[in-house]
Structure 1
Amino acid sequence: MAVNCTSLEEVRNNIDRLDQQIVTLLAERGRYVSQAARFKKDTDDVKAPQRVEQVIAKVRHLATLADANPDVTEQVYRAMIAAFIRQELDEHAGLAINPTT
């Protein structure tokens, strides 16, 4: 829950604190994305448009519950998912070249 700040500096300090948490969570999410590449057969499995839409629907609902703007949440998630798909495609391609047993 956001506190009612009394200065721009306090607002910025809170945003900086949240940015640290968000980046830490993005790093953790990215490590799971890297693992997911091992379980997918091909690039179509990596792109998984149906799964993307499931995630978008889920986060829009979560945004509503959290009193966040669902449109902003969707835009952020679509950008994040696109970036992680690119990462996962690179991971998947690397696995195809150097499969592990």
Structure 2
Amino acid sequence: MTAAKLPAECQSKDDVRVEIDRIDQALLTLFAERHGYVTRMAEIKTDPHEAFDPVRIEAVITKVRRLSLELDLDEDQAELIWRTLISWNINYEKGIIAARKRAR
């Protein structure tokens, strides 16, 4: 396996694509890890309404926007990605909690 290249070291579109694919793999690995924690949170929560916590959501978004600026990323784009992720997670948690309650 070759070492990762910095963006400026990429000489072709293929070089760039290899690095993007490497990063995508790392991102998916992190999303899978995060998903495990979301699943555990759903196991801990007792009511589907607990899945939606506006105060926590806004705290996360504030942190994401701040970190994005520190990393020289577009904070609006990062917020959009995180709001989408949060929305998916809320629906996922609600489903797990509701299914558990129905099974009782």
**Contact 2:7 2:16 survives alignment (8 Å):** no
Which of 7, 10, 34 matches 1:3? Answer: 7
Asked if structure 1 preserves the Cα contact closer than 8 Å seen for 2:47 and 2:98, the reply is no
How many pairs were matched up?
99
| Correspondence for 1:12 among 5, 17, 31 | 17
In the alignment, the residues of structure 1 paired with residue 15 and residue 30 of structure 2 have an alpha-carbon distance, to the nearest angstrom, of 23
Query: TM-score, normalising length from structure 1?
Result: 0.87
Q: Which runs of 5+ in 2 are unaligned?
A: 1-5
Alpha-carbon separation, structure 1, partners of 2:59 and 2:43: 21
Listed as ranges, the gaps of 5+ residues in structure 1 are: none
Residue of structure 1 aligned with 2:45, choices 34, 40, 43 = 40
- The two structures have a TM-score, normalised by structure 2, of 0.85
Q: Match of 2:81, as an amino acid? A: V
Identity of aligned residues (%): 37
Larger Rg: 2
Match of 2:93 among 83, 88, 93: 88
Deviations 1:47-79 (A, max 9, x none): 112111111100111111111111110011111
Deviation at 1:87, TM superposition (A): 1.1
